[in-house]
Chains A and B, each alone.
Chain A
Amino acid sequence: MTTALVTQLGYVVAAGLFIFGLKMLGSPATARRGNMVSAIGMLVAIVAALLDQGIVDFTWIVAGMLVGGAIGAIAARAVAMTSMPEMVALFNGLGGAASLLVGWSALSPDAGVFTLVTIVLSILIGGVTLTGSLVAYGKLSETIGSGAITFSGQQVVNSLVVFGIVGGAVMFCMNPTDPNWLYMVIGLALLFGIMAVIPIGGADMPVVISLLNSYSGLAACAAGFAINNNALIVAGSLVGASGIILTQIMCKAMNRSLSNVLFSGFASVSSEETVVEGEIKPISVDDAYYVLEAATNVAIIPGYGMAVAQAQHVVKELTELLQNNGCEVNFGIHPVAGRMPGHMNVLLAEADVPYDQLLEMDEINPRMEMVDVAIVIGANDVVNPAAREVESSPIYGMPVINVADARTVFVLKRSMASGFAGIENPLFYKDNTRMLFGDAKESIGGLVREFS
């Protein structure tokens, strides 16, 4: 058996393990082992790759792996769960950069047209992923403003960049020996990544992260074509498919098309003021306690505000106290609550909330009429009844959690400011809504003290 054959068989085994690992991610009970299986697959693939006869000097390979591995390990240990979106964005960018470099270094004088096209593709997708992810990272970590950045003539500039990329790519494929065309494509791809993400507002970041996740896979896939490597193609397309599905789910949860998210930003708050009837009825922690004490069914609807206030641990305490009081407690989680798909679930799981208590929107909505108290913590747009009732609202048609159907609604909120999307929320004015103003962590802490 030749070494080349062993390497190829190693890739087959690795691909099988990736597939099996992803399959095990289908249930929280097997997910952790699934991740382990996938990691073993990666190890097999790397060992198989190191058998390559072309490798004469391992020094720099080992050095690169040690440096990169150490950085990754430190980051993985240190990152706070609230910052997962930033970290994933950054990692997406690195994956894109790696594919860009692989595509670039695959360039050889005897490359055929097919190879040249795939080299350009891996550089292009990798470059867009790199800078797009860096901008997304900046917006999520708020090192740059999270709002949409738009300027007049943006479309024209973007069209010129796209035109330049296509032109440069064609010229490069025709004259592969002239590196200037390649540099032009690289530069423009990097620029395009920035241009593509700056006009997208903070509220749409879950879509952007999912999409960039998909791109990082597609970039690896294109690099696989460039260097003729099956392992990259299979693994890359699995990741690409995963990102596309998450993107679709996010778009559906916001009732918007992908092109609407990418190209238009949120139509800045509609000028026609929606006239909201009713009045704000505040409630004190004491009164809230009496209502909760008598409740037999409570639903908690968390949003990113819960994470900002670091309230998830006190929320868990309150949950336990309520349960000891004979009350059923469930969490209703909207697909776009938080800054990335599934973000709230991870934060609550970290606070020891069992996953069978975390219900998806479609599970909790039919039960809402049986709920005595729905507690909204740091969520706004995902519980906004305007999405169902006010046709002129920018979020009209977006599926929301119908908290207003519960007997009583508590909304924990710092002040009356509108949400991330800047849209008025009629929920606050409903007859059965009580506003519990203040820092979510302190308010819940107050409730916990009343119970104990």
Chain B
Amino acid sequence: MSGAEYLLFILMLSIFLGFELINKVPATLHTPLMSGANAISGITVVGAVALAGTGSETMGMWLGVGAVTLASVNVVGGYMVTDRMLGFFKKKED
């Protein structure tokens, strides 16, 4: 398998996996789920670093730098706020 078909194959499997995983998350955790998912969508940073590190000072590089910055807000902010929220969830102590 080459390029595109291989990527589409991965896409299909991960979508099914995503549905299976998320369906098991209870309603009480939906807000942390959302902000945690938000942090994961900051994965764009992984693609952006290669574009931002060319040292070429072209427009492509600056777009990459912008993407690194925005995605970093997502990653750091998303994981931290999710952690803060989940810290509140406690079981009845008795």
Contacts and interface: CB of A to CB of B under 8 A. Distances in A.
A318 interface: no
B35 A54 contact: no
Interface string B26-46: 111111111111111111111
B44 A38 contact: no
B91 A29 contact: yes
A95 B42 contact: yes
Contact of A57 (B53, B72, B73): B53
A237 interface: yes
B36 A35 contact: yes
B37 A242 contact: yes
A85 to B, nearest CB: 8
A32 B83 CA distance: 6
A258 interface: no
Interface in A248-286: 249
A335 B82 CA distance: 20
A98 to B, nearest CB: 4
A190 to B, nearest CB: 15
B50 A49 contact: yes
A101 to B, nearest CB: 4
B16 to A, nearest CB: 8
Main secondary structure of the interface of A (DSSP, over half): helix
A281 B34 CA distance: 41
Interface string A45-84: 1101110101111101101110111011101110101001
B54 A56 contact: yes
Interface in A215-236: 216-217, 219-221, 223-225, 227-236
Interface residues on A, range: 35 or more
Contact of A355 (B55, B74, B78, B90): B90
B34 A341 contact: yes
A346 B81 CA distance: 12
Contacts of A230: 7, 10
A28 B28 contact: yes
Contact of B15 (A25, A106, A240, A346): A240
A91 B19 contact: no
Given A68-B70, A105-B63, A73 B77 contact: yes
Contacts of B29: 25, 28, 31, 342, 345
A357 B80 CA distance: 26
- Pick from A91, A98, A230 the residue with the most CB of B within 10 Å: A98
Given A28-B26, A38-B40, A106-B51, A98 B70 contact: yes
B17 A19 contact: yes
Given A57-B54, A223-B47, 5 more contacts: A22-B25, A42-B79, A345-B28, A346-B32, A349-B90
Q: Which 4 residue pairs spanning A and B have beta carbons closest together?
A: A241-B18, A68-B72, A72-B77, A342-B30
Interface of B: 3-4, 7, 10-11, 14-15, 17-19, 21-55, 59-61, 63-93
8 contacts: A73-B76, A75-B77, A98-B74, A102-B44, A223-B47, A237-B15, A340-B34, A345-B27
